Structure 1
């Protein structure tokens, strides 16, 4: 079973990063270029343990349907979604979050198995590993940018209030 891993250092807090990873609306927005749209199950908001979502997406020029379920969940450190049905034989997508000083390290591990025996294994090597790696990197980069922007805005707001004099009658 091929496995891919992407580690991303994010200058944001643990909860912001974790919540973005399970936010359907964020995923819709960032993967719109792939024509990815939730069509059944939880189609908006945040995913929790036991929730499932069916996605319609365009991959390799074909419309595909993928249903995944959150099978393990430990906020704000761990999220596991697994394919229930779709074009692959199976997949497991782990999201692990660790706070390391002022940053969050997000580790995404993607395990997948293709159908069609030896032909599927050949497709893994020649096409799928590279394609899925690119999707994972894009998703991680989008999450990093959004989380860091959100954190910068929070800090900016705090600084704004800290600079204002506070009047107090004695």
Structure 2
């Protein structure tokens, strides 16, 4: 389930998915930057460009290169700003294509495994032009990315 909302020029995307694994398994998978490429559509050419560590920590900087549109690649730098193992972590864009990007990853025990909630708050650059592009380009692209992610996770964890 993907929901979009907006308020004062800030958009919010929220997804929820129950996956049949333990909260510790969920944390191990999602808190590792190495797994980002596995849940990002291949056509985006996601590649981490910074050195990464095994364990996530507040203040950790992760840089990567990603294709936003066909033929348009962007460098993106995020900082892990909050970590509360195994319940949530937050990454925020420090440099990249958005005027603001704040991504919360929440994990809760659920009778069928783990309820994973992603909440992304973002603001587009270019003012009115950015807002014009949101329904035409940005929202559909983000929807496809998170739908892809959901399908990959369902497939990966279906037999766990």
Fold match by TM threshold 0.5: yes
Separation (CA, whole Å) in 2 of partners of 1:102 and 1:30? 22
Q: CA deviation at 1:109?
A: 0.6
Do the aligned partners of 2:18 and 2:112 also contact (CA within 8 Å) in 1?
no
Superimposed CA distance per residue, residues 26-51 of structure 1 (whole angstroms, 9 cap, x where no aligned partner): 22234361210000242x63432211
| Runs of 5+ unmatched residues, structure 1 | 153-170
**Bigger mean CA offset, 24-33 vs 76-85:** 24-33
Superimposed CA distance per residue, residues 84-116 of structure 1 (whole angstroms, 9 cap, x where no aligned partner): 000111101111111012411001011111111
Aligned to 2:74: 64
Task: Rate the CA distance shift 1:9–1:81 in 2: closer, same or farther, 3 A.
Answer: same
Do the aligned partners of 1:51 and 1:70 also contact (CA within 8 Å) in 2?
yes
Separation (CA, whole Å) in 1 of partners of 2:41 and 2:55? 18
Matching of residue 122 in structure 1 with residue 148 in structure 2: no
Q: 1:81 aligns with which of 91, 98, 120?
A: 91
Q: CA deviation at 1:52?
A: 1.2
CA RMSD after TM alignment: 1.7
Greater strand fraction, Structure 1 or Structure 2? 2
Separation (CA, whole Å) in 2 of partners of 1:13 and 1:51? 25
Within 5 A, what are the aligned runs for 1:15-94?
Answer: 15-31=24-40, 33=42, 34-42=44-52, 45-61=54-70, 62-94=72-104
Separation (CA, whole Å) in 1 of partners of 2:32 and 2:158? 16
Normalising by structure 2, what TM-score? 0.85
Q: 1:8 aligns with which of 10, 17, 20?
A: 17
Greater helix fraction, Structure 1 or Structure 2? 1
Tell me the number of residue pairs that the alignment of Structure 1 and Structure 2 aligns: 149
SS of the equivalent of 1:88 reads: coil
Task: Rate the CA distance shift 1:136–1:130 in 2: closer, same or farther, 3 A.
Answer: same
Structure number, greater radius of gyration: 1
Do the aligned partners of 1:53 and 1:69 also contact (CA within 8 Å) in 2?
yes
Within 5 A, what are the aligned runs for 1:108-147?
Answer: 108-147=118-157
Separation (CA, whole Å) in 2 of partners of 1:85 and 1:60? 18
